């Protein structure tokens, strides 16, 4: 299943990369004479209420949905690694202070915190990327902290410290590469969560704003015509479902592959 998920993700990547070549129409071009047309040989996934080709909008929407997912996760992973590494390596009051801050952040419902911040800053692609990233790093920081607490006591770390190697070099060159395995799993699962968050925000009107297409706002525009134009909700919903499921399957596969306890049971 993990291999199938990876193959699906690669297909989605290729679609996003070559959306301009694969798209038969301009995703923003309107033609009210063909509005709300069902899927046909001319319009593979039908048209929306403004006569725009849904297939073309879905192709270009994949770029935005994937961009939001990966940029938001990159921000989240960077903050999580930074906080977790400092807390796990230095321990003591530094660890206590940073972990209490993590606990405070975990007390806030993430989705409502994101809604509040986006409402204050205004909905835009950049704001959504940043807000999702800075509100979803806490789990990563805990994983990294746990790995650092264990690895800082290993012989290779003690030997580097005895040789007078600076803390920054020990963290970056000796401990961090050995602590990244759970981070890869977390990052894969977080991409799926970020895509879902973007779709949810767009569905509520706080995400990517028209005329820029994303799977979430295509789904939002279709809810008004859900009984008259089923394709406006079914196809973007399926795209979100398949993509998120694929990332989750790859994340589970990575976890099984990187966990030595699971390998030992086979």
Query: What does the pLDDT read at residue 7?
Result: 92
For residues 87 and 250, what is the distance between their CA atoms, to the nearest angstrom? 29
Whether 10 has a pLDDT exceeding 90, the answer reads yes
Q: Where are the alpha helices (DSSP H) in the chain?
A: 2-17, 19-22, 54-90, 92-107, 110-121, 125-134, 138-151, 155-162, 167-169, 181-203, 215-222, 231-258, 260-264
Q: Which of 105-119, 158-172, 203-217 has the highest mean pLDDT?
A: 158-172
**What is the model's pLDDT at position 97?**
92
Q: Give yes or no for residue 48 having a pLDDT over 90.
A: no
The tally of CA atoms less than 13 A away on the side-chain side of residue 264 is 3
pLDDT at residue 261 tops 70 = no
Q: Which residues of 145-157 are buried (b: 16+ CB within 10 A; e: fewer)?
A: bebbbebbeeeeb
pLDDT (tens digit per residue) in 63-91: 888 888 889 899 999 999 999 999 988 88
Q: For residue 64, count other CB atoms closer than 10 A to its CB.
A: 22
From 72, 73, 97, select the one nearest 86 (Cα to Cα).
Answer: 97
Segment 160-169 mean pLDDT = 84
The rounded percent of the chain whose pLDDT value lies above 90 is 13
Q: How many domains does the chain have?
A: 1
Tell me the CATH number at 52: 1.10.3720.10
Q: What is the pLDDT of residue 82?
A: 92
201-248 pLDDT, tens digit per residue, is 877 777 777 778 888 888 888 888 888 888 888 998 899 899 989 988
Q: How confident is the model at residue 173 (pLDDT cuts 50, 70, 90)?
A: confident
% of the chain with per-residue pLDDT over 70: 97
**Domain extent at residue 21:** 2-264
The predicted model scores a pTM of 0.84
**Is-contact 155 210, C-beta < 8 A?**
no
pLDDT of residue 266: 46
Distance CA 52, CA 59 (A): 13
> pLDDT digits over 241-255, tens only?
999 899 888 888 887
- The gap from C-alpha 188 to its chain's centroid, in whole angstroms, comes to 8
Q: What is the pLDDT of residue 260?
A: 54
pLDDT higher at 121 or 10: 10
* pLDDT at res. 259: 60
> What is the overall mean pLDDT for the chain?
85
């Amino acid at each position: 299943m993990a291999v199938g998920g990876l193959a699906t993700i690669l297909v989605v990547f290729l679609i996003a990369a070559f959306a301009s070549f694969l798209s038969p129409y301009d995703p923003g071009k309107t033609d009210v004479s063909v509005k709300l047309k069902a899927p046909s040989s001319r319009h593979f996934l039908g048209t929306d209420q403004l006569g725009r080709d849904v297939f073309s909008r879905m192709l270009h929407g994949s770029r935005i949905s994937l961009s939001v997912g990966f940029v938001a996760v990159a921000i989240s992973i960077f903050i999580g690694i930074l906080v977790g590494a400092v807390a796990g390596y230095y321990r003591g009051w530094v660890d206590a202070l940073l972990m209490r801050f993590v606990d405070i952040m975990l007390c806030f419902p993430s989705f409502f915190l994101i809604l509040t911040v986006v409402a204050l800053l205004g909905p835009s692609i950049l704001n959504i990327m940043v807000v999702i990233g800075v509100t979803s790093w806490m789990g990563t920081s805990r994983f990294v902290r746990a790995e650092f607490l264990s690895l800082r006591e290993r012989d290779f770390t003690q030997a580097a410290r005895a040789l007078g190697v600076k803390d920054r070099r020990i963290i970056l060159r000796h401990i961090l590469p050995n602590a990244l395995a759970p981070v890869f799993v977390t990052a894969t699962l977080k991409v799926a969560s970020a895509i879902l968050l973007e779709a949810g925000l767009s569905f509520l009107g706080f995400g990517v704003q028209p005329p820029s297409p994303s799977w979430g706002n295509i789904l939002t525009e279709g809810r008004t015509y859900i009984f008259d134009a089923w394709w406006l909700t079914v196809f973007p919903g399926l795209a979100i479902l398949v993509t998120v499921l694929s990332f989750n399957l790859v994340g589970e596969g990575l976890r099984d592959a990187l966990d030595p306890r699971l390998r030992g049971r086979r």
